Structure 1
């Protein structure tokens, strides 16, 4: 059976509209990479943009806090990003074979500010103080860069029986 007959569209994006919407607000975002020596690095992201065709994802990170991740990615390492909705623990992981480190594009500052506000509201929803959310997102006030990648794998990581299951490409 070929990929089309099984429902897996090899040229389709991994993200459908609902998942693209999910990863762009309210969620906690953590970006991981590793060095050539396989030493892992992790940094919190403070926003995300998905391309109109849903094939490319850009996550925004603080340059000083993400120095090691940026170094790993510039050396050609892969990227993994986890998106978790705090009030339900719904979690999606995206992986890419490589990522480009790019300056912010016009409109990215507004995207970051909107994300920070939505994330702070989500933390308040789960009974945390607004001040905690602002402290967690304080990196958004620092110099930022975008990490752009094309997801080549996606996984459900929500706790439960489907955790770790691979998502297929959407038509």
Structure 2
């Protein structure tokens, strides 16, 4: 399927949170809808959210990558640890590529952001570095254009489609 020409609406607050670099969880399911989930070691948001790249450790994400390759679908959750403010994106038309030297600054920026984010809730830099550790030759990038966006912040709007502010 061809990615949508316009992304789903992302309000300015959610978009700013995603661009800044917060917790990212990637999921996919196989053809029998058996899920797989993995923490991303980096993310990048282009434009107003028209193009998203999430980075995974390949060696830890074998089943998830297999599921994406088989179904061409994924869901990604961006969540701010200190507030649990969360947005979920769903997409098809996922491009999987090897990460390279051009991606290293993105991964380092993400690590710095997550160190600040998790520091706000008492998680120290050493634990953040261990959680997001990677070898560049083991990192794979998943690029996609979101087709759907949902407010998943706990509360009365959880699960509702995103609306522009």
- For the residue of structure 2 that corresponds to 1:24, the secondary structure is helix
Residue 38 of structure 1: how far off its partner (Å): 1.6
Q: What is the rounded CA distance, in whole Å, between the counterparts of 2:116 and 2:135 in structure 1?
A: 16
TM-score by length of 2: 0.86
Corresponding residue for 1:31?
26
2:132 counterpart residue number: 137
Deviating runs (4+, > 4 A) in structure 1? none
Q: 1:13: which partner in 2?
A: 7
**The residue matched to 2:89 in structure 1 has which SS?**
strand
CA distance in 2, matches of 1:130, 1:105: 25
Equivalent position of 2:141 in the other structure: 146
- The equivalent of 2:111 in structure 1 is 116
Match 1:87 to one of 82, 90, 94: 82
Aligned-partner SS, 2:126: helix
Moved more, 86-95 or 46-55: 46-55
CA shift digits 1:131-169 (9 cap, x unpaired): 22122112466611111111111000111111111014x
Q: CA RMSD in A?
A: 2.3
SS where residue 123 of structure 1 aligns?
helix
2:41 aligns with 46
- The whole-number CA distance in structure 2 between the counterparts of 1:151 and 1:160 is 23
Residues 87, 122 of structure 1: 8 Å contact kept: yes
2:69 counterpart residue number:
74
Give the count of matched residue pairs: 161
Which of 96, 105, 116 is 1:101 aligned to? 96
Bigger proportion of residues as strand: 2
Q: TM-score, normalised by structure 1?
A: 0.83
CA contact (8 A) 1:60 1:147 kept: yes
Task: Output the CA distance in 2 between the equivalents of 1:121 and 1:22.
Answer: 13
Secondary structure in 2 aligned to 1:50?
Answer: strand
